[in-house]
Amino acid sequence: MNRGMITLSSSQLTLIQSSILQLQQVPQELPIRIAAARQQLQATNAQQTEIELSEDSAEAVLDSLPMPQQNEDPQLTNTRTAFMQFLTSLRSNAQNNN
């Protein structure tokens, strides 16, 4: 299973946490890692944090986000883009290692 680090802001973590609640099946690690990252940001007053995620967890996040719309919240667009780039990077690294 491919894993990697993704940098997320507090608002992105909040968005993800609320969107994954709507999913029936979520990788077991995902809610735990999101909650831990939010707690770390609150404790340190940082703007962003890195979180280690599997490819499956990143896919689950993308599945939980609403379909792209023309006039959507820029934070939603940025979050979707960050996860698409994260998955592209994971898959590229996996191909280069084989």
Provide the pLDDT confidence category of residue 94 given band limits of 50, 70 and 90.
Answer: confident
The per-residue pLDDT for range 34-87, each reduced to its tens digit, is 999 999 999 999 999 999 999 999 999 999 999 999 999 999 999 999 999 999
Q: Is 32 left (phi over 0), alpha (psi -120 to 50) or beta?
A: alpha
- Cα 13 to Cα 8, 9, 32, 59, 93: the distances in Å are 7, 6, 12, 15, 25
How confident is the model at residue 98, as a pLDDT? 66
Distance of CA 92 to the CA centre of its chain: 18
Under 8 Å between Cβ of 97 and 55: no
Q: How far apart are the C-alpha atoms of 89 and 30, rounded to whole Å?
A: 19
